[in-house]
Structure 1
Amino acid sequence: MALVSTEKTKINLYQSRNELLKTSYWNYSEQLEDFIARYKTRPPDIKFWPYGPYWPKYHEREILETPRFIKTAPNFHEKFIDKLTEDLQYPKTFDNQVTHFTSKWRGVLIVYDSERSSRDRQPQPVPEGCCPNLVFESRFESGNLRQARRVGQFEYELVLKTDLYTNRHTQWYYFRVSNTVPGVVYKFRIVNLLKRDSLYNYGMRPLQYSEKEAKLLGRGWMRAGHHISYSRNVMHLHCPLLTRGIAYYMLEWQMDFPHEEDACYLAHCYPYTFTDLKEDLDSLINAPDRKECMKREVLCETRAGNSCFLVTVSNFGASKEEQHKKKFVVITARVHPGETQASWMMKGLLEYITSSDPVAKELRNRFIFKIVPMLNPDGVIVGNYRCSLAARDLNRNYRHPRKESFPTVWHTKTLIEKILERHEILLYCDLHGHSRKHNVFMYGNNTSEEDVNGLGAAKSFLNERLFAWLMSQKAPDKFAFKSCKFNIKRCKESTGRVVMWRQFKILNSFTLEATFSGTIMNKNEYRHFNVHDFQEMGKVLSQTVLEYQRTQENNAKQSEMVLELTRYVTQQVMEQRGLMERPKLPNFKSMMRGDKNVINNTENGNDSSQEKTTPEPHVSTPVFKEAVLTVMDHENSTFVMEDKRGKRSKKSEKAQSNLSRKDVDNLLENASLKTMDGCLKILAQLNVREVMQESDSSDSDSESEPEMKIIESKSKKKKRKSRKQRDREQADRKNGSGSSDKKQEEVRSKSLTALPNIPACSELSDRDKGDKSLSKQTTTSFEKFMRNQKKDSHFVSKYEGRKNGGIPCFAEERSIERAQKRMADMKKRTEEDKQRELAFFSYDQMMDYINRQRQPPPLFEKRVCL
């Protein structure tokens, strides 16, 4: 009872604090300024206070309290929905149920709108004989539901919010349902999804959290729903919120609610909010046995003012020399807000590396972990699926991030640059979720794009895959090595993992992808992942870091791992060539349709999982040798050869085959597969880089976004000349004055680094001799002035060292001639202006002017009458 009261007290304190912040959209700096102005002192923990959550500044909607959940997982495996036995397992459906609600529902009723519904609204009244309306709510942290429309007696259409400031990315949903009736099967339909396919077609089920079951039975999030389908939406497009011309998809499922007066939450994956992150970090920091090896900092502020945390984990008691020798491990998570499993993996990793486990202690002694647990807190808070408040995918803007638009990415890259100045980064890993594939797997980089053949390519091939191979050995029931890919697609050039390899040459640069559904590694049981599974994968990731480092230090262990990987790759090549029986993959779509052949195969035990492989033969077995020999024959046999006539003829297959067999026999007899060089030779001759050609795609049909364009520095615009200057230049060009010559001379002088040497004039005219004394005086005064000036290292005169100070001997003469010409032109223009002005004089003005001049014009001379 005391524990329950303590929990209630914490919740009440949290609610009261949330009430104060409910109408506040300040960022960190504004709230800090208000605190200092009010209390005349700084906060006690200024470095970490406050963190958020803060909504965007112009977010005018209601903001409700962040829901609280039990973070326990069920003690049993939640299997995928089986389409073949679904009708037997759930006999009562939406279509065949019998209830006491006999009236027929007519029309469409909007029961919830996130932008219009009041906060404390009551269920709308319904006609007699109709089921009460459900009450929906999503205006809390990470919530996503735009509108709910009742279209039938027990049927509801749901419209999700797109990512803020965009019209796309609808995948993540998370909302609350209340006012339910027990025993009634409801049908829900989300009508504005954008992905072409989904794991819901392959056994995945939505998540449900019941407050009553959590209180009575201690249950957390559970899988729920049946008769689930994901398909193209061609019929339910009447909602005004849908945009015309967009291909929408819909998710349908049926479910019932067992308790009356219960509030249930439905979600796409296990929610993990910014508030959850703060509380988890607080609990770790305050734990006596963990706070000594863990530091929390604020890397930067987001656009909404939320804190982006940076967690450092290591043994800080080591000497400076030991600290300097340590390698770094950089882990980032939650760049996509809707991929919540990334946060759960990060949570498992943090809890493990700060624990008292011997492996965790060795990790802290050997490495320094830099962890950014939430790269996109703004998107997490507002309920986005993929974008930040800049309406962009952060994972498409690592190459040239803008500090003002993507502060978390910019500061993360800056952090990595500073680390690489003094230390080596052993691993960079970005944690993600995947919506199209089962299991957990990795995406890496092709580090040997230029060298596609030979031992160099084979060595790169192994190095790229060694870390992922170790992961598969640590978690064989969850991690699928066969799903890992190491190609770089052009549209992924600006992602985190590719940029870390391209710009910083971090060899082990990966994204760790965890599915939204579960594992199919065990052919007898396809099951969902829960929060414990995700946390376990975070633990496995940290353990693999130590295993990889030990492998690099121990040649025998490295050879053993390389041998196993080579055997696996060789087996894959043989399967592709049809030399070994390929494992049969489950046809999920046939299972959905109820294909009898699939049922028979499953009963006979022939239904292998997608990642399950046949037993690997030992290297010394004749089967393995013969298979390798056959592959080598196929690989090295050359069938094309041009003769002198230009015709193609076959080369002797027997000679090539014998040569290949001889080479491979020597390799196998010398136990070449037991050494690193031998494995490289086998892989080089198999040409695995080309044989095991991987798809460029990440198997995700998320809309590919371009990188934000780089801001180019604008050149300064040339100042426009005044009208007076333009008129003067135009007149100069018409009259052939020297102004244009002067301009050309100035341009020419700018392009030349120095004037050419001018020989002294041997013969001068009389006039030149007369002006000689003046030029000497000018030159002497100029030289005296230059000698008196202080020499500046930033300025070097281009006339330095020239005779006569660099001034041509005829410069003064030409300047006088130009001055005289300008004066003549000015006088000429003055006379023309006077004549032009006279043309506009009135008769009276002209007569006054003539009288003043006392020169009567011949036109008005008086005639004498005789």
Structure 2
Amino acid sequence: MQISSNFDSGNINVIEAKDPANILLEINKDNGSDFYQWFHFKLHNNERVEHTIKITNAGQSAYVEGWQDYQAVASYDRENWFRVPTTFDGQNLTISHLPEFDSVYFAYFQPYSYERHQDLIHQAQLDIDCELQVLGQTLDGRDMSLLKIGEEGEGKKTVWLTARQHPGETMAEWFMEGFIDRLLDEDDGIARSLLNKAVFYLVPNMNPDGSVRGHLRTNAIGVNLNREWQSPSMENSPEVFLVTEKMKETGVDMHLDIHGDEALPYNFVAGCEGCPSYDERHKALEDSFKEVLLAITPEFQDDEGYDKDEPGQANLTVGSNWVGETFKCLAYTIEMPFKDNALLPDYSVGWSGERSAIFGRDVLTAIHHVVEDLR
């Protein structure tokens, strides 16, 4: 029996792996921080017997509530992922699985590889409406890539989307894949209409270093990028620094920052209610955006989510808060579940990369309905 994680986004430490009925593992912390929750490993074993895999340090992970009612994902071909029986006793996360083939992958959520990221941005650049820009490099020397879709013109709005500040939230880049695919579909009326009214600046992966390293929440040196927006630096958070500099150059009329939530089994948004400049106009834009999403997809809801900030009490180091306040614009954090959408459950796959991509396509419709009112 062999267990390995020496691959893109791999993360696991083997404590004991001699008996299939008692495999003991632990998740490695993000480099330079105490955050950990993301795991991704491969089990190779020719025996067709029940395997009991215990992640022994789950009880001290970053978001322990995330393990309640959680089911891990597995795949034989790295394309099709399914949920496997998983329990949590307060300390150990136990995965039970009887392999049908010699080798099987397990992960916290359906991975989105760095190679797929490269395919996404380079296939997009082939479209006549798309330009692939490199803003600079990360601490590990990877490109900070930006897709500019559409052309500037008088009266056109500037719409920004950023995703995967927290690298373990892979559903965010699946969302972006669906969003980009629809936006570049010349036969889609919503997309064609939007590109007549707006220019899009899209960062499908804000944290490529953490993604490759198998981190949950931080960049190469353990910095949580979504707490860096008020004062980013090339030394600690070049990812945010480069994006904010570009935002200052282009201006921002709307910003969506795409994330995943470990604990809540719903799709929801978090707005700018606590920003000092928040007013009735801002509230009306937020409400309009949510109303459209509620009307077009049962995957979205607005009853469950984060507590709203008190007036003037927003944390302006957070991306959507900083953008909303700096540019006085509609800015939302969009959250998707690691578990499932409890309002529309799929017991085989739970919430998935494919469902995230469809949700990304739906969000394009919501933008279309508010774009003319952004300024």
Give the secondary structure class of the aligned counterpart of 1:279. helix
Q: What is the match of residue 179 of structure 1?
A: 45
Q: Deviation digits for residues 602-643 of structure 1, max 9, x if unmatched?
A: xxxxxxxxxxxxxxxxxxxxxxxxxxxxxxxxxxxxxxxxxx
Q: What is the match of residue 340 of structure 2?
A: 518
Q: What is the match of residue 419 of structure 1?
A: 250
CA drift at 1:334 = 1.0
Out of 391, 413, 421, the position equivalent to 2:222 is 391
Q: What is the match of residue 22 of structure 2?
A: 155
Structure 1 residues 412 and 205: alpha-carbon distance in aligned structure 2, compared to 1, 3 A threshold:
same
- Structure 1, unmatched stretches of 5+, are 1-133, 234-249, 317-321, 554-866
Structure 1 residues 523 and 372: alpha-carbon distance in aligned structure 2, compared to 1, 3 A threshold:
closer
Q: What is the match of residue 302 of structure 2?
A: 481
Give the secondary structure class of the aligned counterpart of 1:483. coil
Q: What is the match of residue 71 of structure 2?
A: 205
Q: What is the match of residue 292 of structure 1?
A: 128
CA drift at 1:371 = 0.6
Structure 1 residues 535 and 196: alpha-carbon distance in aligned structure 2, compared to 1, 3 A threshold:
closer
Out of 269, 272, 280, the position equivalent to 2:112 is 272
Structure 2 distance, partners of 1:345, 1:256, is 31
Counting only pairs closer than 5 Å after superposition, residues 202-241 of structure 1 correspond to structure 2 as: 202=69, 204-211=70-77, 220-224=80-84, 226=85, 228-233=86-91
Q: Deviation digits for residues 328-386 of structure 1, max 9, x if unmatched?
A: 10000111110000000011111110012121111111110001111111111111111
Structure 1 distance, partners of 2:239, 2:346, is 44
Q: Does 1:499 align with 2:344?
A: no
**Is contact 1:198–1:230 with CA below 8 Å preserved after alignment?**
no
Q: What is the match of residue 556 of structure 1?
A: none
Structure 2 distance, partners of 1:492, 1:149, is 43
**Is contact 1:444–1:485 with CA below 8 Å preserved after alignment?**
no
**Is contact 2:233–2:241 with CA below 8 Å preserved after alignment?**
yes
CA drift at 1:165 = 2.3
By percentage of residues, which structure has more helix?
A: 1
Structure 1 residues 153 and 499: alpha-carbon distance in aligned structure 2, compared to 1, 3 A threshold:
closer
Give the secondary structure class of the aligned counterpart of 2:195. helix
Structure 2 distance, partners of 1:163, 1:157, is 20
Structure 1 distance, partners of 2:147, 2:343, is 34
Q: Does 1:333 align with 2:163?
A: yes
Q: Does 1:251 align with 2:74?
A: no
**Is contact 1:158–1:189 with CA below 8 Å preserved after alignment?**
yes
Give the secondary structure class of the aligned counterpart of 2:153. helix
The percent identity for this pair of structures is: 21
CA drift at 1:448 = 7.5
CA drift at 1:148 = 3.7
Q: What is the match of residue 283 of structure 1?
A: 123
Structure 1 distance, partners of 2:41, 2:325, is 41
Q: Does 1:471 align with 2:293?
A: yes
Q: Deviation digits for residues 714-769 of structure 1, max 9, x if unmatched?
A: xxxxxxxxxxxxxxxxxxxxxxxxxxxxxxxxxxxxxxxxxxxxxxxxxxxxxxxx
Q: What is the match of residue 407 of structure 1?
A: 238
Counting only pairs closer than 5 Å after superposition, residues 127-166 of structure 1 correspond to structure 2 as: 134-150=1-17, 152=19, 154-166=21-33
Q: Which amino acid aligns with 1:534?
A: S
Counting only pairs closer than 5 Å after superposition, residues 330-479 of structure 1 correspond to structure 2 as: 330-356=160-186, 357-420=188-251, 425-446=252-273, 461-475=283-297, 477-479=298-300
**Is contact 2:22–2:51 with CA below 8 Å preserved after alignment?**
yes
Structure 2 distance, partners of 1:205, 1:486, is 26
Counting only pairs closer than 5 Å after superposition, residues 534-683 of structure 1 correspond to structure 2 as: 534-549=356-371
CA drift at 1:206 = 1.1
Structure 2 distance, partners of 1:270, 1:527, is 10
Q: Which amino acid aligns with 1:329?
A: V
Structure 1 distance, partners of 2:115, 2:282, is 42
Structure 1 residues 432 and 195: alpha-carbon distance in aligned structure 2, compared to 1, 3 A threshold:
same
Structure 1 distance, partners of 2:366, 2:196, is 15
Q: Deviation digits for residues 283-312 of structure 1, max 9, x if unmatched?
A: 3334xxxx2011101111011110010101
Q: Deviation digits for residues 132-176 of structure 1, max 9, x if unmatched?
A: xx201101111001224137562111011110123x212100011
Counting only pairs closer than 5 Å after superposition, residues 736-751 of structure 1 correspond to structure 2 as: none
What RMSD in Å do the two structures reach over aligned CA positions? 2.5
Structure 1 residues 524 and 543: alpha-carbon distance in aligned structure 2, compared to 1, 3 A threshold:
closer
**Is contact 2:63–2:263 with CA below 8 Å preserved after alignment?**
no
Give the secondary structure class of the aligned counterpart of 2:87. strand
Q: What is the match of residue 683 of structure 1?
A: none
Count of residue pairs the alignment pairs up: 370
Give the secondary structure class of the aligned counterpart of 2:249. helix
**Is contact 1:498–1:509 with CA below 8 Å preserved after alignment?**
yes
CA drift at 1:417 = 1.0
Structure 1 residues 199 and 137: alpha-carbon distance in aligned structure 2, compared to 1, 3 A threshold:
same
CA drift at 1:552 = 7.2
CA drift at 1:522 = 4.2
Structure 2 distance, partners of 1:298, 1:163, is 26
**Is contact 1:170–1:192 with CA below 8 Å preserved after alignment?**
no
Structure 1 distance, partners of 2:234, 2:305, is 32
Structure 2 distance, partners of 1:493, 1:138, is 36
Q: Which amino acid aligns with 2:52?
A: K
Give the secondary structure class of the aligned counterpart of 2:303. helix
By percentage of residues, which structure has more strand?
A: 2
CA drift at 1:530 = 2.4
Structure 2 distance, partners of 1:292, 1:176, is 40
Q: What is the match of residue 16 of structure 1?
A: none
Structure 1 residues 222 and 509: alpha-carbon distance in aligned structure 2, compared to 1, 3 A threshold:
same
Give the secondary structure class of the aligned counterpart of 2:68. helix
Give the secondary structure class of the aligned counterpart of 1:325. coil
**With structure 1 as the length reference, what TM-score do the two structures score?**
0.41
CA drift at 1:450 = 8.6
Q: Who wins on radius of gyration, i.e. which is larger?
A: 1
Q: Deviation digits for residues 514-562 of structure 1, max 9, x if unmatched?
A: 1112212248989712222111111111111111135779xxxxxxxxx
- Structure 2, unmatched stretches of 5+, are none
Structure 1 residues 523 and 274: alpha-carbon distance in aligned structure 2, compared to 1, 3 A threshold:
closer
Structure 1 residues 543 and 209: alpha-carbon distance in aligned structure 2, compared to 1, 3 A threshold:
same
CA drift at 1:440 = 1.0
Out of 532, 551, 561, the position equivalent to 2:354 is 532
Out of 192, 198, 201, the position equivalent to 2:57 is 192
Q: What is the match of residue 309 of structure 1?
A: 145
Give the secondary structure class of the aligned counterpart of 2:89. strand
Structure 1 residues 525 and 141: alpha-carbon distance in aligned structure 2, compared to 1, 3 A threshold:
closer
Q: Which amino acid aligns with 2:87?
A: S
Q: Which amino acid aligns with 1:297?
A: Q
**Is contact 1:302–1:408 with CA below 8 Å preserved after alignment?**
yes
Structure 1 residues 374 and 522: alpha-carbon distance in aligned structure 2, compared to 1, 3 A threshold:
closer
Structure 1 residues 525 and 232: alpha-carbon distance in aligned structure 2, compared to 1, 3 A threshold:
closer
Structure 1 residues 177 and 450: alpha-carbon distance in aligned structure 2, compared to 1, 3 A threshold:
closer
Structure 1 residues 501 and 153: alpha-carbon distance in aligned structure 2, compared to 1, 3 A threshold:
closer
